[in-house]
Structure 1
Amino acid sequence: MAISGGRVTEGSIHTRVLANLQRNIAKGEKIQEQLSSGKQINRPSDSPTGTVSSLQLRGEARATQQYQRNADDGIGWLGTQDNTLTNMSTQTIAARDLMVRGLNQGASDPSANEALATEIEQIRSQLISFGNTKYMDRPVFGGSTPGPAAYDESGTYLGDAGGTSRTVGPGTKVRVDTTGPEIFGEGDTQLFKVLQDAADAIRAGDTAATSDALGNLDTAHNLLKTTLSDVGARYNRLEQMKQSAQDRLLTVTTQLSDIEDVDLPKTIMEMQLQQTSYQAALAASAKVIQPSLIDFLR
């Protein structure tokens, strides 16, 4: 029985050799592209699963960066309030000292009472100015008002009861504003009204009214101090959320680098091996392919 074998022609040899060389060149080009870009994923076909993971991590990184920016903005808001309220507390204590002096003095020295009343009114004007403190051109004690001020010159509230919050984490919001009435009170114990009542009472030498104003001032000052403590607590929370976002961003960046970035020493070694392999393939091809008639005619 005769055994038939496959016939290998010169053309088929050339085709196979060229195909192998082309694959070798394509592999070298891919490694060269990775070295040039520093990335092992330059298109989705390089790694479909890696591409999906990369897109998810990039989305999380963008969200985390936004949380950081929101936290920074909130820290700016609350830091402004903290500094302002601290100064206002100091001024309120100074006004209280003047009221105590006026209470002790009574109606014995009208000119001295006038000086005390004038000084208290000056403190009141300064406190109203503090009440209109702005951050990013918005009054921090005006709620969500788009207006330029939280209080007018008479101490009347111009803002609203709306709140301003910042999202600083997944499902986590922190309020960054404080409305004027929450800090300075309302009605007879409103800080600015109390100071004006005290100035009027001292100017008139009315010790009973001055004593009432002193009690109301203590109530207003306690509210201010309580609000200052709340502002400080929210400030600390934002600092913690910002640090948490920074830590998470570092983790995500590391994970993204593990997926996308090339191992440079390893890739350089692969490139060198590929070049050696290509040179060997060229040498082997030169021996396999037989000289053609054209070679003899040269």
Structure 2
Amino acid sequence: MAISGGRVTEGSIHTRVLANLQRNIAKGEKIQQQLSSGKTINRPSDSPTGTVSSLQLRGEARASQQYSRNADDGLGWLGTLDNTLSNVSSRVISARDLVVRGLNQGGNDPSSNEALASEIDQIRNTLVGYANAKYLDRPVFGGSTTGEAAYTADGTYQGDAGQTARTVGAGQKVRVDATGPEAFGEGDAQLFKVLKDVADSIRAGDTDATAANLEKLDAAHNLVKTTLSDVGARYNRLEQMKQSAQDRLLTVTSQLSDIEDVDLPKTIMEMQLQQTSYQAALAASAKVIQPSLIDFLR
């Protein structure tokens, strides 16, 4: 029984050899592109699953960077509050010392009383200035107001009860402000009102009223210290959340590098092997494709 075999022509040999060489060149080009870009994924077709993972990780990296920026902004707000309230506390202590001095004098020396009252007035004006402290041109004690100041010169609050918060993690928000009434009180217990009453009672030589106002001043000072403590706690939390965002960013960056970045020594070795393979293929092709009779007749 006769066995028929496929006929291999000179043209088919040429076609197959050129196709194999083309595939070899394409592989070498891909490796060269990876070396040039430093990335194993230069287009989605290079690794569909890797592309999906890369996009997800890049989204997480952007979110972590935004959380870190938000935390920095919040730390700026809370740092301003902390410094301002610390200064307020120091000035209130100075005012208290003056009140105690006035009580010790017994209110019998009008000129001394006037001098003490004037000093307290100056402290009050200074504290109103502190209450109008700003961060990025916004009053930190004004709530969500976009006005120029939280308090008028006479100590009247003109902000609102709105709150300012920053998102510093997935579902994590931290308040970064404190309204004027929360820090300085309101009504007859407001710090600026108490200081005015203290100055008036000292001028009048009314020691009973001065003693009562001293208790109100202590209560207002306690409110300032309580707010300062709360601001400090929020500041610490923001620092922790910022560190968490930065740690997560490092982790995501490392994972992204594992997916996208080339292993340089390994890729260089692959490139050298590919070049050697290509040279060998060229040499083999030269032996397979021999000159035909037509080549001699040309």
Taking structure 2 as the reference length, what is the TM-score of the superposition? 0.99
Instruction: Work out the CA distance in 2 between the residues paired with 1:297 and 1:226.
Output: 104
1:105 offset after TM fit, Å?
1.1
| Mapping for residues 135-150 of structure 1, pairs under 5 Å | 135-150=135-150
Letter in 2 for 1:265: P
Corresponding residue of 2:103: 103
3-state SS in 1 of match to 2:5: coil
Instruction: Work out the CA distance in 2 between the residues paired with 1:76 and 1:175.
Output: 12
Instruction: Work out the CA distance in 2 between the residues paired with 1:267 and 1:67.
Output: 36
3-state SS in 1 of match to 2:98: helix
Corresponding residue of 1:280: 280
Could you tell me which runs of 5 or more consecutive residues in structure 2 were left unpaired when the two chains were aligned: none
Corresponding residue of 1:267: 267
1:140 offset after TM fit, Å?
0.2
1:250 offset after TM fit, Å?
0.1
Instruction: Work out the CA distance in 2 between the residues paired with 1:173 and 1:29.
Output: 49
Letter in 1 for 2:100: V
Corresponding residue of 1:221: 221
Letter in 2 for 1:133: A
Corresponding residue of 1:252: 252
3-state SS in 2 of match to 1:59: helix
Instruction: Work out the CA distance in 1 between the residues paired with 2:279 and 2:107.
Output: 110
1:107 offset after TM fit, Å?
2.6
Instruction: Work out the CA distance in 1 between the residues paired with 2:107 and 2:18.
Output: 113
Corresponding residue of 1:128: 128
Instruction: Work out the CA distance in 1 between the residues paired with 2:253 and 2:208.
Output: 68
Runs of 4+ aligned residues of structure 1 deviating over 6 Å after TM superposition are none
1:297 offset after TM fit, Å?
4.0
Instruction: Work out the CA distance in 1 between the residues paired with 2:212 and 2:129.
Output: 25
| Mapping for residues 1-298 of structure 1, pairs under 5 Å | 1-297=1-297
Letter in 2 for 1:269: M
1:295 offset after TM fit, Å?
3.5
Query: CA offsets, 1:28-53, max 9 Å, x none?
Result: 00000000000000000000000000
1:296 offset after TM fit, Å?
2.1
Q: Is the 8 A contact 1:106 1:202 kept in 2?
A: no
Letter in 2 for 1:181: P
1:106 offset after TM fit, Å?
2.3
Instruction: Work out the CA distance in 1 between the residues paired with 2:107 and 2:32.
Output: 94
Instruction: Work out the CA distance in 1 between the residues paired with 2:198 and 2:266.
Output: 80
Query: CA offsets, 1:67-96, max 9 Å, x none?
Result: 000000000000000001001000000000
Could you tell me which runs of 5 or more consecutive residues in structure 1 were left unpaired when the two chains were aligned: none
Letter in 2 for 1:198: V
3-state SS in 2 of match to 1:291: coil
Taking structure 1 as the reference length, what is the TM-score of the superposition? 0.99
Letter in 2 for 1:140: V
Letter in 2 for 1:36: S
RMSD (CA atoms): 0.8
3-state SS in 2 of match to 1:167: strand
Letter in 1 for 2:84: T
Query: CA offsets, 1:86-141, max 9 Å, x none?
Result: 01000000000000111111232110100000000000000000000000000000
Q: Is the 8 A contact 1:77 1:177 kept in 2?
A: yes
Instruction: Work out the CA distance in 2 between the residues paired with 1:144 and 1:62.
Output: 27
3-state SS in 1 of match to 2:45: helix
Instruction: Work out the CA distance in 2 between the residues paired with 1:187 and 1:136.
Output: 29
1:55 offset after TM fit, Å?
0.1
Letter in 1 for 2:194: V
Q: Is the 8 A contact 1:121 1:195 kept in 2?
A: yes
1:294 offset after TM fit, Å?
4.7
